[in-house]
Amino acid sequence: MCTLDQDGCTTCGDVAVPARVLQVEGNSAHVIDRAGNAAEVATDFVPGVRAGDVVMVHMGVAIGRADETL
Amino acid sequence: MKFVDEFRDATLIRQAAAEIRRLADSGRQYRLMEVCGGHTHAIYRFALKDLLPDNIELVHGPGCPVCVLPMGRVDDGLSIAGDPNVILTVFGDMMRVPGRNGTPLEHKARGADIRMVYSPLDALKLAQQNPGREVVFFAIGFETTAPSTALTLRRARALGVRNFSVFCNHVTIIPAIRAILDSPDMRVEAFIGPGHVSTVIGCRPYEFICRDYGKPLVTSGFEPLDILQSVVMILRQLQAGTSYVENQYARVVPWDGNLPALRAMAEVFELRPYFEWRGLGFISQSALKLRDSYAEWDAESRFQVPGVRVTDPKAAQCGEVLKGVLKPHQCKLFGRECTPERPVGALMVSSEGACAAYYNYALRTTAAAAV
């Protein structure tokens, strides 16, 4: 599983990294991945995202949400 | 986070492998294509092939945008970087992709201002920090990546950043799958569908594969258990004689995709009439360009782009490998003239390319005897 600091060939690997949202500010969020790497990501494509949610991060943009109950 | 540990659990993996052996008809040969380079990489990295019976063959698909980008487009991008006022920004994946006269990394060493960025948003920031320079972003990737470029262009317009432009090489996955399905030497029975492309486009665009071609498709996650579960789901469909789209990666992939991301792509991009893919040739409506309403940010309008055409080396058999007719090590150049250090063919270029993954992980085992 990739992390925010080591995600291989991101375009070819169809890579998105799960990261938990710590804080949302406008259309960006502070997130942290399972290895503890923090990043700021754009949240335009995950409207209504809140602290505690898990988002899939690709190239600095949250491209979707992850449902931990499934 | 419920994403990794459960999907690497040895007991569950052994159970899935046993279920695969139980379902696989020993009198039948199965050829399943994983569309996505990330799956190819995971299959080799976790040696999943060793858990499958010999009559299940995993065929590696076209899902590596860096690999399928024609060398002429690399040269076109590098020609833009020849303008001393230009800062060309590229993803790390692109830095060692060869053009005719070297890679972006080698051009940088010769003095071109080429910089690596993690996100197109970083390229936009660079443009804001360097108002006297032209910052060009070399955009590449499938539908996973295209929304990030679309978002960046929207922000460039909203912020009025005029010294930023995009050299667009985004491609779309569906036409490539259709080209493979229409190929006369196509021998694939089912597809393991891309996970994160599907996060954006959802599962519906694959329905024609099942309806019109009778091939099951299962969108899959990237952990070992994800991939084995997807194989189980495919075998159950093949055993029952059904073909429909299933979603193994439901924890991430919504059936209808990500609507805000799709809307952003539709606002910014339109389909090119055709686009060349290394190894597959020209495929109609398989790539994106900026709409006229975004022409101001289109590097192909702003700069002289020579439109270089470079013929792939005849000896390289990338097309056959992409269509699953040949395994990587069966190509005449594999491991000799064509290596990850000196790639000749498309699929050796990126670490997620089928040949590079095969070279890095499988050479010591399966391919060793053949090379």
Q: How does the average pLDDT of chain B come out, rounded? A: 91
User: Which residue from B4, B118, B352 is facing A34, i.e. has the nearest CB?
Assistant: B4
User: What does the pLDDT average to over B89-94?
Assistant: 89
User: Residue ranges per domain, chain B?
Assistant: 5-58+174-247, 67-172+257-302, 318-361
Concatenated DSSP letters of B275-296: EEETTTEEEET-BEEE-GGGGG
Query: Which residues on chain B are in Cβ contact (under 8 Å) with A20?
Result: 1
**Amino acid identity for residue B265 in this structure:** M
Q: In a 10 Å sphere around its CB, with 0-12 CB exposed, 13-18 middle and 19+ buried, how is residue B183 labelled?
A: middle
User: Among B42-46, B130-134, B214-218, B348-352, which stretch is predicted with the lowest mean pLDDT?
Assistant: B348-352
CA–CA distances in Å: residue B36 to residues A65, B5, B25, B46, B195: 20, 22, 26, 16, 8
> Which two structure tokens, joined as six digits, stand for B275?
């686009």
User: What does the pLDDT average to over B151-175?
Assistant: 97
CA–CA distances in Å: residue B195 to residues A16, B89, B108, B198: 9, 27, 34, 5
CA–CA distances in Å: residue B6 to residues B13, B18, B183: 10, 18, 38
Query: Which residues on chain B are in Cβ contact (under 8 Å) with A67?
Result: 250-252
Q: Decide if B266 contacts B272 (C-beta within 8 A).
A: no
Query: Is the pLDDT score of B362 beyond 80?
Result: no
pLDDT, residue B347, reads: 80
pLDDT band for B326, please (50, 70, 90 cuts).
Answer: confident
User: What does the pLDDT average to over B45-60?
Assistant: 91
pLDDT, residue B115, reads: 97
Superfamily name and number for B67-172+257-302: HypD, alpha/beta domain 2 (3.40.50.11740)
ipTM: 0.89
User: Which residue from B3, B93, B147 is facing A12, i.e. has the nearest CB?
Assistant: B93
pLDDT, residue B363, reads: 61
Judged by CB atoms closer than 8 Å, whether chains meet at A9 and B119 is answered as: no
Query: Is the pLDDT score of B101 beyond 80?
Result: yes
Concatenated DSSP letters of B145-171: THHHHHHHHHHHHHHT--SEEEEEEEB
pLDDT, residue B2, reads: 63
pLDDT top residue among B348 and B150? B150
User: Which residue from B1, B65, B195 is facing A11, i.e. has the nearest CB?
Assistant: B65
Residues of chain A with pLDDT under 50: 1-2, 4, 7
Query: Which residues on chain B are in Cβ contact (under 8 Å) with A63?
Result: 144, 147-148, 196, 199-200, 258, 261
**Interface membership of A48 toward B (CB under 8 Å):** no
pLDDT top residue among B290 and B321? B290
CATH code for the structural domain at B5-58+174-247: 3.40.50.11750
Judged by CB atoms closer than 8 Å, whether chains meet at A9 and B352 is answered as: yes
User: Which residue from A1, A10, A61 is facing B91, i.e. has the nearest CB?
Assistant: A10
pLDDT, residue A70, reads: 61
Query: Which residues on chain A are in Cβ contact (under 8 Å) with B3?
Result: 1, 18, 34, 54, 66
Query: Which residues on chain B are in Cβ contact (under 8 Å) with A11?
Result: 65-66, 91, 93, 140-142, 144-145
pLDDT top residue among B191 and B9? B191
DSSP B28: S
pLDDT top residue among B92 and A45? A45
